[in-house]
């Protein structure tokens, strides 16, 4: 049998590899490879192929700058491994010319050239010579060339709504993270959709305010018999946060629950997996374990979003600060439409239902001719397992008479600003009478988070009906005049099923946050959604955070 003899390997205790020696005799251990050039190698270096003729060029034969820069830095190193061209062999090598001959230029007949010259002169007199040449050259191009040029100009392509390729939008956070904030943890919004919890039992604690009756005339509104949206200039709305509510303060002193929030804040947490824009919610934990879910006074929390979940949402740039389709302007417009619609669809105060307690936020001494809007504040307690008692201030907007039976309702408005600008939108005036389901499906795609939040608010308030209005601009270029094109009633539970909003998942998200905050120590926390990632982060902040900003705003005012 053949035997394998292990070659002699000289030891080198001071370094890797064979020891350094000047001995070049035949008996020396390094004599065999002494003149072999050494190439340094790192494990992070890229190893190309033996004959890679495409590594330094990209599609179309254009050299890549990065490859040229990388290879240029390595020139002059490892010269022993560099390829050397044999001059004798190179002199006998020839390339075969495979380029195609240039096609002969088409020359139009003399009559056609005269007609083209005459058209150019006529358009030049009208000031349109440049536009005519551009259009003529465009339609003389092949179809594939026109399509490529159209993409290069941002004209869009198939399936992109004519908007072209859109670069990634880098949004700013809703609040700046300060150096004294301590990050507790972060959570993936997609994973929140898998949470489940039993639907809790509800209990009414207090009723405040009043409600007007719904006007049945608005059930017959259509594009042919549309109604102008009126401004409720004498109506006052109160989006008061949790800590500023005197009724919640009283209920907290009476130990009516151990978690307190408003329906807007709780509904926002329930629909948070559908959100795209950044947001933040404040959580304060008292030493006795009581939790308050709050919001910042200077936040954009109470303003409605427009086309937040669309494929191409409205974007903000430096040059469109005065544009009526700017996201901030659209948000303000949508909020104004929603408030005015909720009051316009109601009758006068003759059929008003007054509750035992008045509106807790209305002060007659500071009214100045204003009156509170038709809103009933319904304070309810929801009991979850593990001794979780959530007290929520909910809102109802009116009363509906159905077969001599009174039902509570909420009212919200979807708005159309410009179907030609909004990507993926359809013209409501053409489809809303005959294909209202298609219009609602489009709005569900573009405003999924907003519709889910409205549905969650209606479920929290125990509303029997949910009224949705379709309001459009009278003129796409005018953001101050609007028209009601249609209205539709929905039952909140049925509508939640229609928009795939799982009620068990809603309460599972709430229970997750409550259980998480029960394990934290007393203090103030901020739940903040990342602006460019579907991630929610929890920060522990100092007690006085945001209070100094509020004091500065009051001094400036």
Give the model's pLDDT for residue 41.
60
User: For the chain, first and last CA: distance in Å?
Assistant: 100
pLDDT, tens digit, 9 for 90 and up, residues 273-314: 999 999 999 999 999 999 999 999 878 888 999 999 998 888
- pLDDT of 523 > 90? The answer is yes
Q: How many domains does the chain have?
A: 1
Angle, CA 457 vertex, CA 339 and CA 191 arms, to 5°:
125
Q: Which of 14-18, 36-40, 347-351, 495-499 has the lowest mean pLDDT?
A: 36-40
Give the model's pLDDT for residue 314.
85
- Is position 126 within any domain? no
* 17/494: higher pLDDT: 494
- pLDDT of 188 > 50? The answer is yes
Give the model's pLDDT for residue 149.
46
**Closest-CA residue to 436 (of 445, 447, 426):** 426
How confident is residue 172, by pLDDT bands cut at 50, 70 and 90?
confident
- Is position 11 within any domain? no
Look up tokens 């998480």; give the residue.
516
pLDDT, tens digit, 9 for 90 and up, residues 450-500: 999 999 999 999 999 999 999 999 998 888 999 999 999 999 999 999 999
Share of the chain above pLDDT 70, in %: 70
HEC readout, 246-288: HHHHHHHHCCCCCEEEEHHHHHHHHCHHHCCCCCEEEEEECCC
Rounded Cα distance between 158 and 147, Å, is 10
How confident is residue 208, by pLDDT bands cut at 50, 70 and 90?
very high
**Closest-CA residue to 240 (of 346, 148, 372):** 372
* 526/127: higher pLDDT: 526
- Is position 73 within any domain? no
Q: Which of 47-56, 78-87, 89-98 has the lowest mean pLDDT?
A: 47-56
Give the model's pLDDT for residue 39.
61
How confident is residue 127, by pLDDT bands cut at 50, 70 and 90?
very low
How confident is residue 100, by pLDDT bands cut at 50, 70 and 90?
low
Rounded Cα distance between 59 and 244, Å, is 63
Look up tokens 């390094």; give the residue.
30
Based on C-alpha coordinates, what's the Rg of the chain? 35
- Is position 50 within any domain? no
Give the model's pLDDT for residue 483.
96
How confident is residue 59, by pLDDT bands cut at 50, 70 and 90?
very low
HEC readout, 111-128: HHHHHHHHHHHHHHHCCC
| Count of helices and strands (H, E) across the chain | 15, 17
Q: Which of 282-291, 367-376, 445-454 has the lowest mean pLDDT?
A: 367-376
Rounded Cα distance between 281 and 268, Å, is 9
Instruction: Give the residue numbers spanning the domain of 300.
Output: 182-310+323-556
Strand-strand pairing, 227-228 and 405-416:
unpaired
* 114/472: higher pLDDT: 472
* 207-236: average pLDDT: 92
- Is position 494 within any domain? yes
- Is position 259 within any domain? yes
How confident is residue 410, by pLDDT bands cut at 50, 70 and 90?
very high
Strand-strand pairing, 388-396 and 376-384:
antiparallel
Q: Look at the chain and count its residues.
A: 557
pLDDT, tens digit, 9 for 90 and up, residues 334-343: 999 999 999 9
Give the model's pLDDT for residue 196.
94
- Is position 119 within any domain? no
Q: What is the pTM of this model?
A: 0.70
- Is position 121 within any domain? no
């Amino acid at each position: 049998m053949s035997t394998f003899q292990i070659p002699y390997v000289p030891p080198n205790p001071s370094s890797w590899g064979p020891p350094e020696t000047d001995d070049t005799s035949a008996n020396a251990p390094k004599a065999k490879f002494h003149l072999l050039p050494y190439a340094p190698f790192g494990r992070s270096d890229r190893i190309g192929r033996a004959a890679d003729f495409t590594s330094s060029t990209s599609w179309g034969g254009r050299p890549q700058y990065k490859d040229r820069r990388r290879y240029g830095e390595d020139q002059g190193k490892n010269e022993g491994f560099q390829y050397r061209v044999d001059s004798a062999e190179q002199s006998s090598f020839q390339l075969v010319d495979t380029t195609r001959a240039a096609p002969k230029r088409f020359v139009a007949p003399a009559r056609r050239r005269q007609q083209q010259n005459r058209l150019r002169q006529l358009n030049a007199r009208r000031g349109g010579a440049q536009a005519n040449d551009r259009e003529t050259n465009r339609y003389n191009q092949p179809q594939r060339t026109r399509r490529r040029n159209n993409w290069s100009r941002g004209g869009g392509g198939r399936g992109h709504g004519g908007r072209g390729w859109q670069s990634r939008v880098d949004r700013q956070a809703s609040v700046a993270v300060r150096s004294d904030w301590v990050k507790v943890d972060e959570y993936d919004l997609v994973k929140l959709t898998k949470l489940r919890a039993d639907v809790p039992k509800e209990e009414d604690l207090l009723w405040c305010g009043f409600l007007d009756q719904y006007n049945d005339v608005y059930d017959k509104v259509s594009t042919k018999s549309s109604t102008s949206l009126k401004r409720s200039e004498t109506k006052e709305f109160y989006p008061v946060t949790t800590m500023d509510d005197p009724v919640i303060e009283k209920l907290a002193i009476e130990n009516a629950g151990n978690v307190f929030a408003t329906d807007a804040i709780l509904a926002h947490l329930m629909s948070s997996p559908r959100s795209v824009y950044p947001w933040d919610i404040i959580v304060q934990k008292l030493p006795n374990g009581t939790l308050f879910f709050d919001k910042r006074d200077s936040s954009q929390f109470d303003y409605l979003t427009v086309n937040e979940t669309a494929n191409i949402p409205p974007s903000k740039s430096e040059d469109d600060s005065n544009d009526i389709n700017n996201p901030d302007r659209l948000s303000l417009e949508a909020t104004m439409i929603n408030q005015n619609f909720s009051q316009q669809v109601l009758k006068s105060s003759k059929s008003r239902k007054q509750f035992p307690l008045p509106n807790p936020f209305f002060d007659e001494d500071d009214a100045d001719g204003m009156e509170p809007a038709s809103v009933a504040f319904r304070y309810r307690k929801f009991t979850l397992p593990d001794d979780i008692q959530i007290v929520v201030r909910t809102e109802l907007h009116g009363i509906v008479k159905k077969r001599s039976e009174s039902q509570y309702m909420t009212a919200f408005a979807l708005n159309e600003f410009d179907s030609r600008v909004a990507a993926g939108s359809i013209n409501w005036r053409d489809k809303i009478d005959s294909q209202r389901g298609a219009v609602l499906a489009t709005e569900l795609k573009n405003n999924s988070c907003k519709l889910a939040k409205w549905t969650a608010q209606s479920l929290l308030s125990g509303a029997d009906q949910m009224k949705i209005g379709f309001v459009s601009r009278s003129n796409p270029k005018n953001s101050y005049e609007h028209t009601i094109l249609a209205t539709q009633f929905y039952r909140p539970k049925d509508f939640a099923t229609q928009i795939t909003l799982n009620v068990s998942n809603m309460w599972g998200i709430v229970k997750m946050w409550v259980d998480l905050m029960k394990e934290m120590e007393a203090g103030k926390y901020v739940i903040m959604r990342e602006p460019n990632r579907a991630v929610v982060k929890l920060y522990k902040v100092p007690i006085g955070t945001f209070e100094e900003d509020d004091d500065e705003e009051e001094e400036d005012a």
